[in-house]
Amino acid sequence: MLKRFVLWVAVVAAAGAALGAQGRGGQPTGPQKLTAIRAGRLIDPETGTAAANQIILVEGERIRDVGPNVNIPQNAEVIDLSRQTVVPGFVDTHTHEAMTYKDVPESNIYYYTYITDPTPLRAIQAASSAMQLLSSGFTVVCDVGNNGLYADTALRQAIEQGWIPGPTIIPSGLIISTTGGQFSPSPEMYKYHNIVYPEYLEANSHDEIVKAVRENLLFGAKVIKICLDCKPWGYSVDDIKLFIAEAAKGGAKVNAHVQTRDGAQRAIDAGLHVISHGQQLTPEQHAQMAQKKIYLASTDTPFTDYRGSSQGQQHAADELKSAWQKGVPITFSTDMDYWNEKMKKADGEWMNRGDLTINFLLTWKAAGIPAKDTLKALTTTGYAAADVLKDQRGPIKAGFYADIVAVNGDPLANIDAVRDVQFVMKNGEVFKKNGVITIDNLLRAGPVKGFRRR
């Protein structure tokens, strides 16, 4: 037995050494594919300006050069987007790709989805959701819990390693909460912790908070999601500061579900990174958030044929408008995690997860947020809130990952232009072209980008 173990260790070590020769993290080295994109207009959402006739040269996964007179090497593939507008990929800062609650069988009670849909099934749903989101131009997705037993971190790994195409996932792992999580388990559920409890990691004392954060980081979380005030006994300012300090050790920020005014004040006082929902925030609290640069992911559900109410949309729009007026760094966020049989377009086709996600623009329009500020929320502010590889992903600039989207029309004039995504490139790979998904060479038989990529 010992001999076998020694042999196994030797084989694993040799395999590791061989992969090491491929480069750090198992990523291939050597000549990289060159792609030159001719952009009719290139928008910088940070400034709300556009430049005409730009060339973006992409080498491997990253942008090598951008400008009007970039030399196109002979061996580069040329992609002509000269009749379109090019923008950085979009960000949803609050969603749940491995959660889809339905009319049947769970009567839209997401409590029950945990019982009807096991984690492996939800992981496959998440893989599909991720590709649907990418098709609508979302290249970064903050996936903040309610994903069974770590379906979200598995999704990130599958995409990072190259098994399937998808956005950059910023997964939280399990939502950390005080006793009871986000709802009211029965004593049977609570005592045996095998139903519902894959969804919440309970932590009350400071020791438990430290352990819970470390567990999530260990299993691949890139952000720590907490339920700040889901119960009257919620987290104190000191508790939240401990979450922030412990998460920082793993390079993660903290995003909190906040549903009360008191909870929001504790979040602001502790200097939280992202407040999710926050529908009870006052204009005074919005001003404090702006001053402290706390990001808002207000998950603004629109009123549609398939979901929401006019009063609900009005309230969300009023809150969003107040936050925008006070200068809060607002992000595009949805909580899009349900499905029903009314989700069809005029032609009778199903709306996919990307269509449903971008449809949250309805609330932004109801709030009267200008197109350029909505585009900024959907891109650069989203990247900052997602805290994704700072200085490496976001703007279309030399040295950054090539996450590039093209649309018909001009989103600075009419934000609805972002609904019509014609082209998507993620990490330098073309996922969609001329409005059609082309992934025949993006479904791989192994972790082609290296098994160390997490």
Q: How many CA atoms lie within 13 A of 433 on its CB side?
A: 11
Smallest distance, Zn ion to C-beta of residue 354, A: 18
**Per-residue contact string for residues 175-214; x = within reach of Zn ion by CB under 5 A:** ----------------------------------------
Q: Which is nearer to Zn ion, 239 or 335 (CB)?
A: 335
- H/E segment holding residue 110: helix 110-116
At residue 185, the 3 state secondary structure works out as coil
Q: Name the segment binding Zn ion (CB under 5 A); options: 180-188, 230-238, 247-255, 330-338.
A: 330-338
- The b/e string for 64-99 (b: 16+ C-beta within 10 A; e otherwise) is bbbeeebebeeebeebebeebbbbbbbbbbbbbbbb
Q: Distance (Å, rounded) from C-alpha 177 to C-alpha 180?
A: 7
- The b/e string for 50-59 (b: 16+ C-beta within 10 A; e otherwise) is beeebbbbbb
Residue with tokens 């995409």: 159
Total chain residues near Zn ion (CB under 5 A)? 1
Smallest distance, Zn ion to C-beta of residue 374, A: 21
Residue nearest to Zn ion (CB): 335
Smallest distance, Zn ion to C-beta of residue 335, A: 4
Q: Which is nearer to Zn ion, 199 or 335 (CB)?
A: 335
Smallest distance, Zn ion to C-beta of residue 221, A: 15
At residue 266, the 3 state secondary structure works out as helix
Q: Which is nearer to Zn ion, 243 or 423 (CB)?
A: 243
Smallest distance, Zn ion to C-beta of residue 133, A: 15
Q: Which is nearer to Zn ion, 65 or 106 (CB)?
A: 106
CA-atom Rg of the chain in angstroms: 22
Q: Which is nearer to Zn ion, 146 or 265 (CB)?
A: 146
Q: Indicate whether 387 belongs to the interface with Zn ion (CB under 5 A).
A: no
Smallest distance, Zn ion to C-beta of residue 223, A: 13
| Both tokens assigned to 33 | 């594919």
Site for Zn ion, residues 331 to 350, rule: CB under 5 A = 335
Q: Distance (Å, rounded) from C-alpha 374 to C-alpha 300?
A: 13
For the CA atoms of 314, 318, 319, 322, what is the dihedral angle to 10 degrees?
170
Contacts of 267-271 spanning 24+ positions with Cβ under 8 A? 267/228, 267/240, 267/294, 268/292, 268/294, 269/237, 270/237, 270/240, 270/241, 270/244, 271/241, 271/244
Q: Which is nearer to Zn ion, 308 or 409 (CB)?
A: 308
Q: Name the segment binding Zn ion (CB under 5 A); options: 61-69, 113-121, 224-232, 327-335.
A: 327-335
Smallest distance, Zn ion to C-beta of residue 27, A: 33
Q: Which is nearer to Zn ion, 239 or 337 (CB)?
A: 337
- The b/e string for 269-281 (b: 16+ C-beta within 10 A; e otherwise) is ebebbbbbbbbeb
Could you tell me which residues are beta bridge partners of residue 223? 253
Report phi then psi at 207, rounded to 5: -60, -40
| CA 354, chain centre distance (Å) | 12
DSSP 344: B
Smallest distance, Zn ion to C-beta of residue 247, A: 18
Name the region of 252 (left: φ>0; alpha: ψ -120 to 50; beta: rest).
beta
Q: Which is nearer to Zn ion, 274 or 421 (CB)?
A: 274
Q: Which is nearer to Zn ion, 163 or 332 (CB)?
A: 332
Contact 41, 87 (CB under 8 A): no
Smallest distance, Zn ion to C-beta of residue 94, A: 6
Q: Which is nearer to Zn ion, 259 or 422 (CB)?
A: 259
Smallest distance, Zn ion to C-beta of residue 96, A: 6
Smallest distance, Zn ion to C-beta of residue 107, A: 19
Residue with tokens 């958030």: 289
Q: Which is nearer to Zn ion, 300 or 335 (CB)?
A: 335
Applying CB under 5 A, which residues contact Zn ion? Answer: 335
